[in-house]
Chain A
Amino acid sequence: MSDEMSKPFPKSAMTEDERYELKRETRIQVISFAFMIGLTIMSFLSVSTETIVTGFAIPFILLLGAVQFFLQLFYFMHLKDKDHGWPNTFFTTGLVLMTPMLIALILLLGVTKW
């Protein structure tokens, strides 16, 4: 067993290039995180202030939600990275299974309430 095992990964096993890549990745993560916080604040503002009419606020928030969703998946959950075939498969499977399920539930429960 090498003595390297107790060292963090970037110190022990990564090449110069990989470390650079990691730094870039961290920067992207931080930027997208800040951007998403911004999106969230915007959606909060659009309902809490009187100036924005409801007819605009609802589609606007839905739009922000959609953007947020893709940012989350592609940037936070690494869907954009290559060699992520298996995780991507699982994400897609989850979406494919859950979407019809949610739609069915909304349709079925929304109509009649017991």
Chain B
Amino acid sequence: MATATMTAKKEKSVLWDWLTTVDHKKLAILYLVAGTLFFVKAGVMALFIRIQLMIPENDFMTGQVFNELITMHGTIMLFLAVTPLIFGFMNFAIPLQIGARDVAFPFINALGFWIFFFGGLLLSVSWFFGGAPDAGWTAYVPLSTREFAGSGMDFYALGLQVSGFGTLISAINFIVTIINMRAPGMTMMRMPLFCWTGLVTSILIVFAFTPLAAGLALLMLDRIFSGQFFLPDMGGNAILWAHIFWIFGHPEVYILVLPAFGIISEVVPAFSHKRLFGYTAMVFATIVIAFLSFMVWVHHMFTIGIGPITNSVFALATMTIAVPTGIKIFNWLFTMWGGKLVFNTAMLCAASFVPTFVLGGITGVMLSMAPVDYLYHDTYFVVAHFHYIIVGGIVFGLLAGLYYWYPKMFGHKLNETLGKIMFWSLYIGFHLTFFIQHILGLIGMQRRVYTYLGGQGFDMMNLVSSIGSFVMGAAIVVLVINIVYSAYTSERITVRDPWDARTLEWSTPTPIPEYNFAQTPQVRSLDPWFYEKVHGDGTMKPAEPMGDIHMPNGSILPFMIGLGLFIWGFGMIMLNMDNPIIPPAIVIGVGFVITFGMMVLHSKEDHGYHIPVDEVKKIEKGVG
């Protein structure tokens, strides 16, 4: 048994390799590619929305299409674009930063990706089967019940259920990895901040995606199996959905922003050439934010009529989040203070994140004052608030991470000139689009309306906002050009550490061998790589002798399980289609059999394979 598995890996075709990979570095790239595709898709939708709103009484699209576009834009951006992009960076950086050879469960890692991917696909095919979901990304009942919403909402409930499941198991995997796989000497309080925010985000996912899954299950029961959880006429409770959704929803916004915080906390010290100011305070601020994010959900429901006492309690709770957030802001500023600053594209994105995020935080605190929120609620002011956080904060954070880790991932840097053009056009376009939406909201323009009458003072500002969005679109095009252009023209990176950075991932050779570390490194301080460069001889001390390296085998089963869930979910949706070509029960059955059949196949023993020590030595010499 064991001897059979010891033969070296056979050569695989490129496609098969990517479909079966369980290597965290390759899955990271899959996440990035999938996330980018969804990002571009939702971005194009946003441009359509802005075209429709560019002039008053526009008839570029109908109200129905508009509703479908805003719903899909929000849902895709949050669940299928930003989440996988974050997971891409977490997958790539976390095992390297803690000195591990892979995540704790490589198979589960691949499974998480493919389930997420097929869930996203399930949501996306709704366009071809009677229209996309149209009740907003919040899917408030009764708007999202069968009475008012078409089959699109079925795709929403099932698609998010499936992709959320993938997200959940990936998060559990990250928790186990960070707790168990740290290299010797890498104590919790020596972990890079990106690992900390990755850990806390994963914990938030475990605690927040479970209520979402429950809520979606109830919605599915209501819609597909004639349940009555949310139907007031039948004794159900419509407010319950709003509660469940926001118990998930507010932590979700921090799930998205905390990894961005982490990236900023890596990039800012690296290009200030200083250690992160107030590391301990940063860690505790992260934990406090995570805790508080569960205690504030009612601030999304101030105007629902819960009453003044509840509103006050939750208003106060919401305001307290500003305290740990403020701690973080000041720590980034103090990190830059007096440092040897290098303003390349990564640093520009990271540094501009700070003031933009502060603006989003300030409007957040304004929104948290319950009485005034009656004025702001459901206007463009809220839209401006969360886009300052999400675009100005998260997207810039992700871009900083992209430019920072790109050389490690792909072996060459991105072009700086194009990078700066991208940064400035995106920055200007972003403020053009969204700053003016604050004012639009304050003078009374409601969100989620597909058109408006002229002559109310909205016309000019909407035009400006739309122009800004085109500038942003152009900036993303520049980014894509940059990726292609750099692939052909940038010089290959052969050094380990092109940025003169501080954390462990920069101690690995470029390109990274599949086992990451030939010998597990011994960590002697916070910022271990920097420590060895200054106090040691510039190489990591090994914590173990050179030996055979045990690696997991690739597997197609994760892909197949994802496919099975896709078919299964689609069959459930077919239950309510008017004239399905195939009986839904058969489709459900096929999906069920594939899903569980693959699980049965997986229970066969598979101990992976070994890379013999001679081979390791050869690879290590080759990459210098």
Per DSSP, are chain A's interface residues mostly helix, strand or loop, or mixed?
helix
Give the shortest distance, in Å, between B91 (CB) and chain A (any CB). Answer: 21
Chain A residue nearest to B310 in the complex (CB): A108
- Do the beta carbons of A97 and B294 come within 8 Å of each other? yes
Which residues B310-330 have CB closer than 8 A to chain A?
A: 310
Q: Interface stretch among A2-10, A28-36, A62-70?
A: A2-10
- Do the beta carbons of A105 and B243 come within 8 Å of each other? yes
Contact with B294, one of A5, A86, A101 (Cβ below 8 angstroms): A101
- Do the beta carbons of B243 and A108 come within 8 Å of each other? yes
- Do the beta carbons of A5 and B232 come within 8 Å of each other? no
Contact with A6, one of B1, B207, B295, B310 (Cβ below 8 angstroms): B1
A109 at interface, CB cutoff 8 A: yes
Which residues B190-240 have CB closer than 8 A to chain A?
A: 203, 207, 232, 237-240
Chain B residues whose C-beta falls within 8 Å of the C-beta of A2 in the assembled complex: 2
- Do the beta carbons of B207 and A3 come within 8 Å of each other? no
Chain B residues whose C-beta falls within 8 Å of the C-beta of A104 in the assembled complex: 298
Chain A residue nearest to B232 in the complex (CB): A114
B610 at interface, CB cutoff 8 A: yes
Which residues B231-259 have CB closer than 8 A to chain A?
A: 232, 237-240, 243, 247
Chain A residue nearest to B6 in the complex (CB): A1
Q: How many A-B residue pairs have CB under 8 A?
A: 46
Contact with A1, one of B2, B247, B291 (Cβ below 8 angstroms): B2
- Do the beta carbons of B550 and A1 come within 8 Å of each other? yes
Give the shortest distance, in Å, between B371 (CB) and chain A (any CB). Answer: 19
- Do the beta carbons of B607 and A113 come within 8 Å of each other? no
Give the shortest distance, in Å, between B257 (CB) and chain A (any CB). Answer: 19
Chain B residues whose C-beta falls within 8 Å of the C-beta of A59 in the assembled complex: none
Q: Do A114 and B239 contact each other (CB < 8 Å), given the known contacts A93-B203, A101-B294? A: yes
Chain A residues whose C-beta falls within 8 Å of the C-beta of B232 in the assembled complex: 113-114
- Do the beta carbons of B207 and A97 come within 8 Å of each other? yes
B306 at interface, CB cutoff 8 A: yes
B546 at interface, CB cutoff 8 A: no
- Do the beta carbons of B243 and A100 come within 8 Å of each other? no
- Do the beta carbons of A94 and B207 come within 8 Å of each other? yes
Q: Do A5 and B607 contact each other (CB < 8 Å), given the known contacts A94-B207, A109-B243, A114-B232? A: yes
- Do the beta carbons of A6 and B605 come within 8 Å of each other? yes
B179 at interface, CB cutoff 8 A: yes
Chain B residue nearest to A4 in the complex (CB): B2
Cα A33 to Cα B550 in complex, Å, equals: 39
Cα A1 to Cα B607 in complex, Å, equals: 9
Q: Do A109 and B550 contact each other (CB < 8 Å), given the known contacts A6-B605, A97-B294, A101-B247? A: no
Which residues A56-111 have CB closer than 8 A to chain B?
A: 86, 90, 93-94, 97, 100-101, 104-105, 108-109
Given contacts A1-B5, A1-B610, A108-B239, 17 further A-B contacts (CB under 8 A): A1-B607, A2-B2, A3-B2, A6-B2, A6-B607, A90-B203, A94-B207, A97-B291, A100-B295, A104-B298, A108-B298, A109-B237, A109-B239, A112-B239, A113-B232, A113-B237, A114-B232
A interface list, Cβ under 8 A from B: 1-3, 5-6, 86, 90, 93-94, 97, 100-101, 104-105, 108-109, 112-114
In the complex, 12 of the A-B residue pairs with CB atoms within 8 angstroms, ordered by the A residue number, are A1-B607, A6-B1, A6-B605, A93-B203, A97-B207, A97-B291, A100-B295, A104-B298, A105-B243, A108-B306, A109-B239, A114-B237
